[in-house]
């Protein structure tokens, strides 16, 4: 399995009234074919922005990708201009996205079939009739009952869970190499969320599609992801396989995050304080103000690049690494 996606030094900034916000700060990671990668972090940590940057979907202005490269199948996506033919070929065709709000992602004035067919006709150049057949087949695969009839429904005829299924079907239409699910199931109820996650998991396995799950829900990641990136204040502070990270979290933030999910019979340990603003911050570890393991060296040196712990496990906490050595 080769690298499907390789992100090097991606940095995205937003110009706001309060100053320049560095929402994504020099992040690098890679993704193999057919792999499921979880990107975990709290709101404002840059997990969504990093994915939108890859797709060049950052509203600009105020946002701008200021540095880095995104190698997808060996091609640097950031070299293409935003609305170039090449970029449009990648979006929707090779990489597709599923967003949190199914209601705003679907056009309320068009039938499901029409919206789905449009994608196919655009990218694959098939006829309307063929497109319809593919759509109905895909709707059936995502568990929409009676897809022939439902294809002619409008989005508001469907429930939230159903709409999100349609979004998944739409994302799968062109048989992409990568799906980015940006908090795709967060807005749904627990039982519906479970249905949808199982469905997505089944589909990406069947077609060997890579999946990036952007979420704040550690439980979802624990069950489905192979590897995870933990993001904090625009940086990846720790990355590794799910088991490595759960067994031995090597960054105090990851550890804190794992501990603040309530578990039976355990006292909840909250992380003190709150996430920092991202304006004009020094290069030191962003978690420093809240960290309970910090030492003098943390204040003096900039945040190191994620360093190998073992296996696929990398962390950027110096103190923990030194403690190991």
Partner 1 sequence: MEIENVKGLTDNDVEVLDEDLLPPINEFKRFVRVFFKRKIVLVSFIIVVTMLVVAIFADFVAPFGPYEQNLHNTLAAPCSTHLLGTDALGRDLLSRIIFGMRVAFSAGISTVLVSAFIGTIIGLIAGYSKGIVQTVIMRLTDALMSFPPIILALLIASILRMGVPGVVLAIAITLFPGYIRLICGQVMSVKQNDYVVAAKVAGTKTTHILLRHVLPNCMSPLIVQMTMMMGVAIMAEAGLSFLGIGILPPTPAWGSLTFDGYRFLMSRPLLSIAPGLAIMILVFSFNMIGDGLRDALDPKMRGSLD
Partner 2 sequence: MSQSIVDVVDLKMHFPVKRGFFRRKVGEVKAIDGVSFSINPGETLGLVGESGCGKTTVGRCITRLYRPSEGQIIFEGSDISHMSEHKIRQHRKRMSLVFQDPYSALNPRMHAKDIVGETLKTHKLVSGKKEYEERIAELFIMSGLSPDMMDRYPHEFSGGQRQRLSIARSLACDPTLIVCDEPISALDVSMQAQILNLLQELQEKKPNLSYLFISHDLLAVQYISHRVAVMYLGRIVEMSNSVELYANTLHPYSQALLSAQPVPDPVVEETRSRIILTGDVPTPLNPPNGCTFHTRCPRAKPECSATVPALVDVGNDHFVACHCL
Q: Which residues bind partner 2 (CB under 8 A)?
A: 42-43, 159, 161-162, 189-195, 197-198, 216-223, 242-243, 246, 256-264, 268-272, 274-275
Asked if 282 is part of the footprint of partner 1 (rule: CB under 8 A), the reply reads no
From 272, 282, 310, 311, residue interacting with partner 1 (rule: CB under 8 A): 272
Q: How far is the CB of 277 from partner 1 (least distance, A)?
A: 6
Asked if 297 is part of the footprint of partner 1 (rule: CB under 8 A), the reply reads no
Q: Which does 263 bind (CB under 5 to 8 A by kind): partner 2, partner 1, none?
A: partner 2
Asked if 82 is part of the footprint of partner 1 (rule: CB under 8 A), the reply reads no
Q: Which is nearer to partner 1, 75 or 295 (CB)?
A: 295
Q: Which does 256 bind (CB under 5 to 8 A by kind): partner 1, partner 2, none?
A: partner 2
Q: Which does 18 bind (CB under 5 to 8 A by kind): partner 2, partner 1, none?
A: partner 1
- What is the Cα Rg of the chain in Å? 21
Q: How far is the CB of 272 from partner 1 (least distance, A)?
A: 5
Q: Which of 216, 242, 244, 218 is nearest to 228 (CA)?
A: 242
Give residue for tokens 């990648």. 90
From 9, 202, 273, 311, residue interacting with partner 1 (rule: CB under 8 A): 273
Stretch that binds partner 1, among 15-23, 80-88, 221-229, 240-248 (CB under 8 A): 15-23
Residues 121 and 323: their CA atoms lie apart, in Å, by 57
From 2, 17, 265, 302, residue interacting with partner 1 (rule: CB under 8 A): 17
Contact call for residues 170 and 115 (beta carbons, < 8 A): yes
Q: How far is CA 197 from CA 45, 161, 164, 190, 191, in A?
A: 23, 11, 11, 10, 10
CA–chain centroid gap for 165, Å, is 18
Q: How far is the CB of 303 from partner 1 (least distance, A)?
A: 16
Residues in the chain: 325
Asked if 18 is part of the footprint of partner 1 (rule: CB under 8 A), the reply reads yes
Give the end-to-end CA distance of the chain in Å, rounded to a whole number: 32
Number of Cβ within 10 Å of residue 170's Cβ equals: 25
Q: Which of 257, 259, 251 is nearest to 313 (CA)?
A: 251
Residues 246 and 239: their CA atoms lie apart, in Å, by 11
Asked if 305 is part of the footprint of partner 1 (rule: CB under 8 A), the reply reads no
Asked if 160 is part of the footprint of partner 1 (rule: CB under 8 A), the reply reads no
- How many chain residues interact with partner 1 (CB under 8 A)? 17
Q: How far is CA 174 from CA 18, 91, 100, 140, 305, in A?
A: 42, 10, 21, 16, 36
Binding site for partner 1 (CB under 8 A): 15-19, 61-62, 272-274, 276-277, 279, 288-290, 292
């Amino acid at each position: 399995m080769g690298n499907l996606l390789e992100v090097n030094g991606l940095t995205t900034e937003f110009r706001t009234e309060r100053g320049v916000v560095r929402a994504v700060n020099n992040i690098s990671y890679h993704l193999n074919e057919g792999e499921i990668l979880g990107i975990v972090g709290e709101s404002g940590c840059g997990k969504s922005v990093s994915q939108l940057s890859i797709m060049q979907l950052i509203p600009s202005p105020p946002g701008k990708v200021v540095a880095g490269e995104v190698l997808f199948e060996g091609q640097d996506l950031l070299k293409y201009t935003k609305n170039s033919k090449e970029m449009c070929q990648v979006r929707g065709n090779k990489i597709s996205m599923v967003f949190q709000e199914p209601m705003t992602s679907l056009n309320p004035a068009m039938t499901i079939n029409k919206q789905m067919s449009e994608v196919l006709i655009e990218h694959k150049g098939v006829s309307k009739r063929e497109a319809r057949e593919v759509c109905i087949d895909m709707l059936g695969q995502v568990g929409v009952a009676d897809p022939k009839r439902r294809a002619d429904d409008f989005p508001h005829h469907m429930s939230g869970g159903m709409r999100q299924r349609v979004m998944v079907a739409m994302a799968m239409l062109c048989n992409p190499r990568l799906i980015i699910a940006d908090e795709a199931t967060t807005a749904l109820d627990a039982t519906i969320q479970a249905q949808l996650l199982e469905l997505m998991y089944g589909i990406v396995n069947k077609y060997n599609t890579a999946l990036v799950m952007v979420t704040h829900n550690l439980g979802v990641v624990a069950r489905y992801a192979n590897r995870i990136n933990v993001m904090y204040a625009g940086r990846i502070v720790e990355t590794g396989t799910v088991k490595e990270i759960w067994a031995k979290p090597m960054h105090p933030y990851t550890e804190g995050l794992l501990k603040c999910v309530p578990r039976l019979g355990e006292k909840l340990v909250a992380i003190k304080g709150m996430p920092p603003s991202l304006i004009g911050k020094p290069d030191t570890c962003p978690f420093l103000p809240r960290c309970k393991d910090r030492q003098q060296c943390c204040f003096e040196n900039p945040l190191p690049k994620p360093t190998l712990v073992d296996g696929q496990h990398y962390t950027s906490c110096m103190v923990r690494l030194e403690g190991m050595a």
